Amino acid sequence: MSRLKDLLLLIVESTPGTNRNVKPKFNFMISTSEVKIDKDLKNKKITTKVHFNASPEEVWKAWTEREILDKWWAPKPWRAETRKMEFKEGGSWQYAMIGPENKKQYAKMSYTEIDAPNSFEANDSFTNEKGVDDKSFPQTTWRCEFKPSGTGTDVKIVMTPKTEGALEKNLEMGFEQGFKMALGNLEDILDENN
C-alpha cells in the first residue's frame, strides 16, 4: 500500500502550484455540476454521481473508446496510455498511468457485463506490466450507468469492494480527489466537442 500512497503523493506533488510541505486538501468540482461522491462504508459502497452537458452517445464513447479514455482518465499532470482494449464481456482495458517523470502504474478494467449504451460493470485492479493482478493493491467492482437527462447525461458509478478493505484503501490513497480531477478532464473534452 505504501507504493500506491507514494504514487498518489507524487501525482499531487507534481501538480503545478502544489506546496510539497503542506498536505494538500482538494475540493474539485466540475464547472457545470458538482461531482457527488457518497462514501457509504457501512454498506460497502462508494457512489459517484455527475451530470455532463453532452449526449448519452458522446458520454458512452468517452468511457468505452481507448482514444478518448486516454485523454481524460488520469488526473493531470499524469496521463493514461492504453496497452490493450477489448470492450466486450470477458474483455478488458489494460492501461498505464504515466507520471511527469515517466513513472508508470499499470491497471486493468475487466468487463463482466455490458448493456450498451446504458451501463457496464467491470472489475478494477492494479496490475504488473504484463497485466497480471497485483494482489497487494485494492480491487473493486464498478457499475457505471448512463441516463439521458434534459439535454445531457447523468452518470452514476457504484464501486464495491472485491477485496477486504478495498474501499477504505482507495479513499486513503486519494481516490476521491483523483477521480474528481479525471471527471473534470472529461467535462473539458466533452465541452470542446459541443
DSSP 52-120: ESS-HHHHHHHHH-HHHHHHHSSPTT-EEEEEEE--STT-EEEEEEE-TT--EEEEEEEEEEEETTTEE
43-86: pLDDT as tens digits: 999 999 999 999 999 999 999 999 999 999 999 999 999 999 99
Does 24 reside within a domain?
no
Domain count, the chain: 1
Note the pLDDT of residue 14.
58
Q: Residue 183: which of 18, 71, 61, 100 has the closest Cα? A: 71
Q: Residue 169: which of 127, 144, 140 has the closest Cα? A: 140
Does 144 reside within a domain?
yes
Note the pLDDT of residue 163.
87
Residues of the chain with pLDDT under 70: 1-33
Domain of 92, in residue numbers:
2-18+38-193
CATH number at residue 134: 3.30.530.20
pTM: 0.81
Note the pLDDT of residue 194.
75
Q: Give the cell for residue 134.
A: 497485483
Reduced to 3 states (helix: H, G, I; strand: E, B; else coil), residue 184 is helix
Does 30 reside within a domain?
no
